[in-house]
Amino acid sequence: MTARLEHKTALVTGAARGQGAAAARRFVAEGARVVLADVLDEEGKALAAELGDAARYQHLDVSSEDDWAAAVAGMDRLDVLVNNAGVLHFSPLADTKLADYQRVININQVGTFLGMRAAVPLMRTAGGGSIVNLSSVEGLAAAPLLTAYTASKFAIRGMTKVAAVELGQYGIRVNSVHPGMIDTDMIKEAAGGVELDLNRIARRVALRRAGRADEIADLVVFLASDESSYCTGAEFVADGGATATHALNVT
């Protein structure tokens, strides 16, 4: 059976751990060559070594134009870009510092914009490609304490649609993925290192559990592969049913 991503070259941001690492592992398993991009150099290099010859590590601050230029300059082709890098910040609107708001926007929103822009020339040369932008359920609806994060994820959703409309003529597909509560270190870090009982919160969704990074990776592989060849400008939700209800549901 042919590997689903055979002969494809991919770049995954935020690939050192969490959802990015899960996607990178699945990409290599499906035959892709993968550039693991992150600012966590030690973890990124270790994962690249684990994955073998099909993977290499690239230091990349996604909010830096210079870093993006350096990343794509070292590539002879790019078939798949996964804009996964992101940060989370909890704060009531009235207490949110401008610096914290701008940090989230620069990484989540500006990083996605710079990534898409950097990918276009290589993908046009290749005759097409797939860009997968990681948004969130917070890119579909609101949650308290997440003004900056929600703003960035709504922006990713909108930019995805604009890019899909512009780039379809070149065979470049652009889609957004909207995970719900996924059990990764990002939530713990945003909470200041405090251990959170995710299961207590996750029991409120239809599937009564938090999601796993590998479940999001499976969806990203589908969008990266030719199996999704007629999918562009769309929102793919993997949230355990979180967005299937409304605020009056108390079950």
| CA atoms within 13 Å, Cβ hemisphere of 89 | 26
How many other CB atoms are found less than 10 A from the CB of residue 127? 11
- Indicate if 57 belongs to the active site: no
Q: Is 130 helix (H, G, I), strand (E, B) or coil?
A: strand
Residue identified by tokens 């652009």 is 174
Please answer whether residues 217 and 22 qualify as being in contact, where contact means their C-beta atoms are separated by less than 8 angstroms.
Answer: yes
Please answer whether residues 20 and 82 qualify as being in contact, where contact means their C-beta atoms are separated by less than 8 angstroms.
Answer: yes
Q: Where are the alpha helices (DSSP H) in 131-196?
A: 147-167, 185-190
Which listed residue (57, 101, 149, 230) is catalytic?
A: 149
Helix axes 111-126, 65-73, angle to 10 degrees: 20
DSSP secondary structure code for residue 110 in this structure? I
Q: Report which of 24, 122, 107 is spatially closest to residue 76, judged by C-alpha positions.
A: 122
The tokens for 183 are: 């059990």
d(CA 173, CA 88): 27
Residue identified by tokens 């704060």 is 91
DSSP E strands in 107-223: the ranges are: 129-134, 172-179
Please give the positions annotated as active site. Answer: 149
